[in-house]
Amino acid sequence: MLKKMACIQMDIHFGQPEKNYENAEKWIHKASEEKCDLVILPELWTTGYDLTRLSEIADEEAKQTFKFLKRCSLTYQVDIIGGSIAKKTAQGHYNTMLIVDREGNFIKEYSKLHLFKLMDEHLFLQHGTNSGEFTLYGESFSGAICYDIRFPEWIRKPFLEGASALFVSAEWPKPRLSHWRNLLIARAIENQCYVIACNRVGNDPNNTFGGHSLIIDPWGEILAEGGEDEGLVIKEADFSLVKEVRRKIPVFSDRLPEYY
């Protein structure tokens, strides 16, 4: 099965959701003109890291964003990994990924598990509790949000159950771009899966973000990579390659978990 993937490597207006909805829609439209099947948005794309103003700008129960994603998926006929957004709930604020299919169906919601202290997340956000696993095209996939990719033992779980792609939304700063690239390549090789990873570009008051969104195949080869400007990073993923790689090097059946 061949599916055309697009990372929407966009800039984010700090704390200005309406401008960000408008920009995201522009790029979703462009991806549909390029006949992409699926698009993925970056982390916290509606607000950026404007964490001190979350009570004002976070999306109440993610209602506005879900409505937006549903409308865009139907209008532009694409499946959308809706990056992550700041979600306001009675229990606090979460950094939450939303996924909808091209018929506007809600597929999955998961909240970032590992909060990144270097960007003050632990002061303003609650961590999630569920897995990033979801099903699309009859395939099992998983989502991860930025810092989550540094935890291979958590990322591994859905791949032990047969997942074939990891979708990552990020606001990864430029000074650690080599970590971004190396961690994502390692996650692809060790899990013998596609990695489709979308990072934002531009600046906020505290950081410059690195872009370099990546589409990596199950051999760990980079199929497409963005630069440091806004734009789409597009490539087809052939999910039959996952089975081929796992047949050649049967890492999953060679595991000896009784020793781990």
Could you list the residues that contact ligand LYUYDEPV (CB under 6 A)?
43, 116, 119, 146-147, 150, 171-173, 176, 179
User: How many residues are listed for the chain in this entry?
Assistant: 260
100-107: list long-range contacts, CB under 8 Å, 24+ apart.
Answer: 100/66, 100/69, 100/70, 100/73, 101/73, 101/136, 102/73, 102/74, 102/77, 102/78, 103/73, 103/74, 104/70, 104/71, 104/73, 104/74, 106/66, 106/70, 107/134, 107/135, 107/136
Residue 246 tokens read as: 């796992």
Quote the least distance from Cβ 149 to ligand LYUYDEPV, whole Å: 7
Quote the least distance from Cβ 147 to ligand LYUYDEPV, whole Å: 3
Please give the Cα distance from 106 to 216 (Å, whole number). 26
The nearer residue to ligand LYUYDEPV, 132 or 173, going by C-beta atoms, is 173
The nearer residue to ligand LYUYDEPV, 67 or 176, going by C-beta atoms, is 176
Quote the least distance from Cβ 32 to ligand LYUYDEPV, whole Å: 28
| Active site (catalytic) residues | 43, 112, 146
Quote the least distance from Cβ 12 to ligand LYUYDEPV, whole Å: 12
C-alpha distance across the termini of the chain, in Å: 34
The nearer residue to ligand LYUYDEPV, 76 or 180, going by C-beta atoms, is 180
Confirm if 57 and 32 have CB atoms less than 8 A apart. no
> What's the order of all strands across the beta sheet hosting 165-170?
133-136, 139-145, 165-170, 194-199, 214-216, 222-225
Please give the Cα distance from 250 to 245 (Å, whole number). 8
The nearer residue to ligand LYUYDEPV, 76 or 167, going by C-beta atoms, is 167
The nearer residue to ligand LYUYDEPV, 205 or 257, going by C-beta atoms, is 205
Residue 40: phi and psi, rounded to 5, are -130, 135
Quote the least distance from Cβ 144 to ligand LYUYDEPV, whole Å: 10
Query: What is residue 208's DSSP assignment?
Result: E
Give the torsion through C-alpha atoms of 156, 158, 164, 165, to 10 deg: -70
